[in-house]
Structure 1
C-alpha cells in the first residue's frame, strides 16, 4: 500500500491503545427510564446483585424498574457508550464492571468520583457482586450516589 502524506504511524502518534468500537451495544436494555438514568453493568447481574442494585438505588429515591434504563451484557465487548447515552437520553450514567476505554470513553475517570462530561454525569464502579461483598466499596458507592442524587432530607 503506498504511503500518503497523512499516514502517521500509530506507535509514534498515540500514547494509548486503539481498538475498533462497535457502534451498537449488543446487550439487553430494560426499564422505564423515566428519569433518564442509564445503569450499565457487565456481566449481567444475577438475582442477588439485581436486588442489591435495587436497594442501593431506592436509598436515593430511584426505582430500579421505572426510573432507569438497565443495560446489561453477559460479557465485555467494545461498544460506543456515547451512542447508548444518546439512544437512552441519559443524564446520569452509572457504570458497573466496565472499563471506560472498552466503551469508548477516553476521559479521566476514577472509581466512585462522579464526572460531568458533555452535560452527562458519569460514575465508574466495581462490579455489583464485588461491591455487595465489600463494606468499603459500599461506602464509596453510597457517598458518590449522594453527590449525584442529593435530597433535601440529608
Structure 2
C-alpha cells in the first residue's frame, strides 16, 4: 500500500514497525541523515572531544532514513541533537531555535543545521560550541 506523503500541507512520516531503542547510559544522542559522510563524523568526533565526550563511548549516532519517524521505547535522559534534520524524526512537530537546548515533555532537544554546513560556517560553529559548553560544562 502506497501513501501519498504530500497530501497535507505538512509532510507525513511513516512510523516503522519496530520502535527505536536507544542504548542506555549515553551522554548524548545525535540524529543524522542516513547518508552522512565520514567527514561529518570526523567533525562530530572533534566537537564532542572538545567538550570531553568520546564519540565511540559516550554518544550514540542514530542514522535516520528520509521521511521516516521513530517511536522511542523509552525517553532518553541525555540530550538529543538533530543536525540537518527536524524533530519530526521522533514524531514531534516542533520548530526549535538553532543551538538552544529546549526541554519538551521530558526530552532535551537541540536543533542545528547539517554538520557539513556547520564545519564551513564560523558563526554556526561558535553557536554550537557555546551550546555544548552550557550542556556539558567543563569540570574545572
Same fold (TM over 0.5): yes
Provide the C-alpha distance between the structure 2 equivalents of 1:91 and 1:131, rounded to a whole number of angstroms. 22
- What is the RMSD of the two structures over their aligned residues, measured on CA atoms? 2.9
Q: Which residue of 1 aligns with 2:135?
A: 148
User: Is 1:98 aligned to 2:74, yes or no?
Assistant: no
Superposition deviation, residue 136 in structure 1:
0.7
Can you list the C-alpha shifts for 1:119-150, whole angstroms capped at 9, x where unaligned? Answer: 22110011110001111110010011111111
More helix by share: 1
**4+ residue segments displaced more than 3 Å:** 23-27
Provide the C-alpha distance between the structure 2 equivalents of 1:122 and 1:146, rounded to a whole number of angstroms. 15
Quick one: structure 1 residues 33 and 131, their matched pair in 2 at CA, closer, same or farther if it must change by over 3 Å? farther
Q: Which residue of 2 aligns with 1:22?
A: 15
User: Is 1:76 aligned to 2:71, yes or no?
Assistant: no
TM-score (norm 2): 0.78
User: Quick check: 2:97–2:111 contact (8 Å CA) kept in 1?
Assistant: yes
2:107 to 120, 143, 154: 120
Quick one: structure 1 residues 18 and 37, their matched pair in 2 at CA, closer, same or farther if it must change by over 3 Å? same
Q: Which residue of 2 aligns with 1:107?
A: 94
Provide the C-alpha distance between the structure 2 equivalents of 1:61 and 1:114, rounded to a whole number of angstroms. 18
Pair member with larger Rg: 1
Quick one: structure 1 residues 18 and 45, their matched pair in 2 at CA, closer, same or farther if it must change by over 3 Å? closer
- SS, match of residue 99 in structure 2: coil
Provide the C-alpha distance between the structure 1 equivalents of 2:58 and 2:121, rounded to a whole number of angstroms. 26
Can you list the C-alpha shifts for 1:45-75, whole angstroms capped at 9, x where unaligned? Answer: 31211111000001111110011111014x5
What 5-or-longer segments of structure 2 have no aligned partner?
1-7
